Amino acid sequence: MRSLILCSALAALGATVYAAGPIPRPAPQLEVTDGAGKHMLSSYKGKVVVVQFLLTTCPHCQAFSQILTKLQTQYGPRGFQALGAAVNEATPEMAKEYQAKYAPDFPVGPLDHDQVYTFMGFSIMERPGFPQIAVIDRKGQIREQTTTEMIAQPLQNEAHLRGLIEKLLAERATGAVRTPAATVASAKK
């Protein structure tokens, strides 16, 4: 019995060693290919990016993609980009069908499930729920992400996500916050 307790404690400790890193942290490279071509996360540097890791058959993922479509329309001209990665062994055709139905305004392509764990910093011992979401600032830093907990999370709330996007859009790529006076002054130049 003592051996079982010790092994369980060591396994739990090992899982925490591989838990998601501190926030903010640099976003790892990510490549999603859809019908229009390859979308490299690094090519969106200078934009605020929301990455949605999704299952094409998940109703929560479908609803969240519809929220991202609205946000892409509203915030896209200001430097926002949504990106979807279908991880349920989705084929390019499945991803294309999902995109047409739930995410017409942003790229969605298939992605290997293991890449979610690497990108999000999860242990292979964890079983994440979906959608998994990461918000990346203009400098390429993950500023907020969901966890593997099977509960409603702040990033899945549209009001919370909108507030975070607006805050990050107000920041310059150098990290400075753009004030209304600075915005007016730069617009006059």
Domains in the chain: ranges and CATH: 21-171 (3.40.30.10)
pLDDT at 35: 84
Task: Give residue 66's identity as a one-letter amino acid code.
Answer: Q
* Predicted confidence (pLDDT) per residue in 58-73, tens digit: 999 999 999 999 999 9
Is 80 exceeded by the pLDDT of residue 101? yes
Given this model, what pLDDT does residue 69 score?
Answer: 98
Kindly report the average pLDDT of the chain as a whole number. Answer: 85
| Closest by CA position to 96, among listed 88, 114, 108, 83 | 108
The span from the CA of 132 to the CA of 84, in Å, is 10
Q: Residue 78: which pLDDT band, with cuts at 50, 70 and 90?
A: very high
| 38-65: average pLDDT | 96
Whole-Å CA distances, 84 to 31, 50, 68: 11, 8, 9
Q: Using the 8-state DSSP alphabet, how is residue 29 labeled?
A: P
Q: What is the pTM of this model?
A: 0.82
pLDDT confidence tier of residue 21, bands split at 50, 70 and 90: low
Query: Please, how many CA atoms are within 13 Å of residue 165, restricted to the half-sphere of its CB?
Result: 30
Which pLDDT score is estimated for 150? 86
Q: pLDDT tens digits, residue range 135-161?
A: 999 999 999 999 999 888 999 999 999
Q: Is the peptide bond before 131 cis (omega within 30 degrees of 0)?
A: yes
Residue 4 pLDDT exceeds 80: no
User: 55 or 21: which carries more pLDDT confidence?
Assistant: 55
Residue 172: what pLDDT? 82
Least confident range from 5-9, 81-85, 92-96: namely 5-9
pLDDT tier at 3 (50, 70, 90 boundaries)?
A: very low
